[in-house]
Amino acid sequence: MKFTLGYWLTKPNFKMTSAVQYARCTKLPGSLHVLAAGRNVRHRGDTLDGGTIDVVFSSPRENIIRVALTHFAGTVNRAPHYSVSEDSVTPVIQENEDSVSFTSGKLTARVCKGESGWCVEYLNDEGRVLTSSGYHGMQHALDKETGKTYMSDSLMLDVGECVYGFGEHFTPYIKNGQSIDMWNADGGTASDFAYKNVPFYMTNRGYGIFVEDTSDVRFEVASEKVERVQFSTEGETLVYHVIYGETPKGTLDLYTALTGRPPLLPAWSFGLWLSTSFTTNYDEETTSSFIQGMADRDIPLSVFHFDCFWMRSYNWCDFIWDPDTFPDPEGMLKRYHDRGLHICCWINPYIGQQSYLFREGMEHGYLLRKTDGSVWQTDMWQAGMGILDVTNPHARAWYCDKLRTVLRMGVDCLKTDFGERIPVRDIQYYDGSDPRSMHNYYTFLYNQMVFDLLKEEKGEGNAILFARSATAGCQQFPVHWGGDNSASYVSMAETLRAGLSMSHSGFGFWSHDISGFESTAPADVYKRWVQFGLLSSHSRLHGSSSYRVPWLFDEESVDVCRYYSRLKNRLMPYLYEAALQAHEHGTPMMRPMMLEFPEDIACETLDRQYMFGPSLLVAPVFRKDGRVQFYVPEGDWISLLDGHHIQGPGWVTETHGFMTLPLMVRPGTVLAMGTRDDRPDYDYSESTELHVFSLPKGESACIRIVDCKGNVADMVEVRMEDAPVVLSRSGRTYPVICHD
């Protein structure tokens, strides 16, 4: 939110109280309380008729400092709160004549005393200032026209400092210069709306900021004040965390330790998913023809997805198969399981008036109500629909019991669509939560509820969603896909930008609708997007009004889909170990270049390429003529597809046919590849080759070999002498292929 008119003037409707001068501090076990005066205090009279800001420093985990700013402490806070995981920390508090400081691990908050003005500096263990809050930083604002109040802070940016994250945003990858509102909305991928807003950002200076507020936090990222990131929220209190991980990966490790890490997903989920698409006409004959068509063309398929119209029109959601198109759902699902497929079904938390669940939900108080006690309803999406009140434990149990029937029929996973269009005006939640603060947090409770049900029914390690909406912490309920994109190269590029921002925001797994959701892609876009999609953590062919099976585009599309789906299956020993890294440390499978190469300044702006795991560089092709420009960091990079070498650092221009793209292996890599390509869930520990790329003589590389359950089956060291020497902890032998 912008409070100013330029640098000096405040907007006339705002009365601002700023932290101007250190007044005093109180040192308590585990926390430091600092009182900031709202004016310069020259004598006792200056303490009268003016406001203050209470600043409390504490530490939920080592190397994280929580900062709580409060103007009026007596304000009732009915907001839901993010669930954070805290650890035992013994901070160090020191005071001298010039300053008072609060230290957690390698991070220090130092409050300056004296007459030079208010300043809080955040320093690392080497004394380097990471960022600071100074003149007109910590502020309280009163809107004299509306009576609303706001708290804000603004943190300094250094020369060349780039800001990343905030969830899934389709705007430019580097967020400097943007105004970003944390307000989930269904706006497609071609707007500045976002399905997944996360009040967390990181910079290329080794730290991140998490604002612990579920409401519509507003960020001015080098926009209102071009040398700062300002964040503000309505109310009398603002809480944020300064997270110092030293590196981008280290910062994500700390952030996901605080807000939750993704579970390890079932290996079968990494294979190819095929959908009915949205508004297409389909029945069992149609879906069976698609499945058989993929088999006839030797394209391995792992999951088949039924979108909305598996249920009857007007009845979404009642979780009853449409008897006109699927008269024998249990038998059909068994037949598909017998073919080795897993099944996904579409759901959402909205209940149409024609559904028998609407009547049940209304009678028992399970639907979201208005303040007058009536059910909130709309005709947007489903006629007369209501919304499940996820704050009501009885409503959650009722909803999950209905879903349980579908899962026990043979459905393996669920697509939790929507969750963004949550009303805030004239709304009353069961638990009394503030509707504005519930707008974004609704998706956390919604996806958590369904994910927990899947764990119950399918077992730990077999639960997976395909979710659209999200907020901070939703990385614990994967996987998330990128929403409604269009069938064009431009939309493919904006989709990738959003995926990179998701990776900066703690989400280890991410997917997107291959070839675009809206309209139908020309064959060239389809083939390029299939390459990109099958080099993403999860891969789904899905659309709106047309089918996405490859033979409807052209015969070469079949070849491309077959080749890259089989390649991904072969890469599963490597990819599943990367998935384990996401589970253990929050390091995403799809990694922005700056995350993997933070020391290379050229990587800071790259938004049309990424690292797939630690060792594979992917540069999707965004042009019909196959021309692609990409950057390789230092070293001898080798193409996984045709073996050609590129010496980095430097920019490269290549032209690719539809069967290839830049897929480069990092120098010094030992790449574990499977010997099977027909499915993603085989025994990696028994079916693995070691491919060695540009490992100099006398040097060695170590890798973990995991099985398809995520257990570490072996630790292997490969040392290059006259021939490669393989040292295996388990004593297994592996075929070794050297690429020089």
Domain boundary among 537, 562, 585: 585
Does one domain contain both 231 and 293?
A: no
- Tally of domains in the chain: 2
Q: Give the closest residue to 503 by CA, choosing from 252, 735, 180, 679.
A: 252
- What is the full DSSP assignment across 181-235? E--B----TTSS-BSEEEEEEEETTSEEEEE--SS--EEEESSSSTTEEEEEEES
The confidence band for 687, taking pLDDT boundaries of 50, 70 and 90, is confident
Does one domain contain both 128 and 192?
A: yes
Please, what is the average pLDDT of the chain? 97
* pLDDT value of position 722: 87
Does one domain contain both 238 and 274?
A: no
* pLDDT value of position 685: 86
Find the CATH number of the domain harbouring 230: 2.60.40.1760
Percent of residues, the chain, with pLDDT higher than 70: 100
* pLDDT value of position 7: 85
Domain boundary among 523, 558, 585: 585
- pLDDT, average across residues 691-702: 95
* pLDDT value of position 114: 81
Does one domain contain both 238 and 309?
A: no
Residue 460, domain member (yes or no): yes
Residue 383, domain member (yes or no): no
* pLDDT value of position 62: 98
Domain boundary among 585, 610, 626: 585
Residue 679, domain member (yes or no): no
Residue 689, domain member (yes or no): no
Q: pLDDT by residue (tens digit) across 134-151?
A: 999 999 999 999 999 999
Phi-psi label, residue 286: left if phi above 0, alpha if psi -120 to 50, beta otherwise: alpha
Residue 254, domain member (yes or no): no
- pLDDT, average across residues 174-182: 98
* pLDDT value of position 143: 97
Residue 217, domain member (yes or no): yes
Does one domain contain both 342 and 228?
A: no
Q: Give the closest residue to 421 by CA, choosing from 387, 467, 373.
A: 387
The confidence band for 620, taking pLDDT boundaries of 50, 70 and 90, is very high
- pLDDT, average across residues 264-293: 98
* pLDDT value of position 686: 87
223 pLDDT above the threshold of 90:
yes
- Specify the pTM: 0.97
First and final C-alpha spacing in the chain = 55
* pLDDT value of position 12: 96
Q: Render the burial of 587-601: b for 16+ CB within 10 Å, e for the rest.
A: bbbbbbbbbbbbebe
Q: pLDDT by residue (tens digit) across 295-350?
A: 999 999 999 999 999 999 999 999 999 999 999 999 999 999 999 999 999 999 99
Does one domain contain both 234 and 302?
A: no
* pLDDT value of position 17: 96
* pLDDT value of position 740: 81
Active site residues: 417, 420, 484
- pLDDT, average across residues 210-218: 97
Q: What residues have CB less than 8 Å from 234, skipping those under 6 apart?
A: 148, 149, 150, 215, 216, 436
- Find the domain containing 87 and state its range: 4-205+207-244
- What is the full DSSP assignment across 600-613? -GGGGG--S-EEET
Does one domain contain both 99 and 173?
A: yes
Does one domain contain both 286 and 196?
A: no
Does one domain contain both 334 and 483?
A: yes
Residue 436, domain member (yes or no): yes
Does one domain contain both 186 and 294?
A: no
115 pLDDT above the threshold of 80:
no
C-alpha span between 386 and 384 (Å, rounded)? 7
Does one domain contain both 139 and 282?
A: no
Does one domain contain both 162 and 284?
A: no
Find the CATH number of the domain harbouring 317: 3.20.20.80
Q: pLDDT by residue (tens digit) across 231-278?
A: 999 999 999 999 999 999 999 999 999 999 999 999 999 999 999 999
- pLDDT, average across residues 107-116: 92
Residue 36, domain member (yes or no): yes
Q: Residue type at 180?
A: I
* pLDDT value of position 77: 87
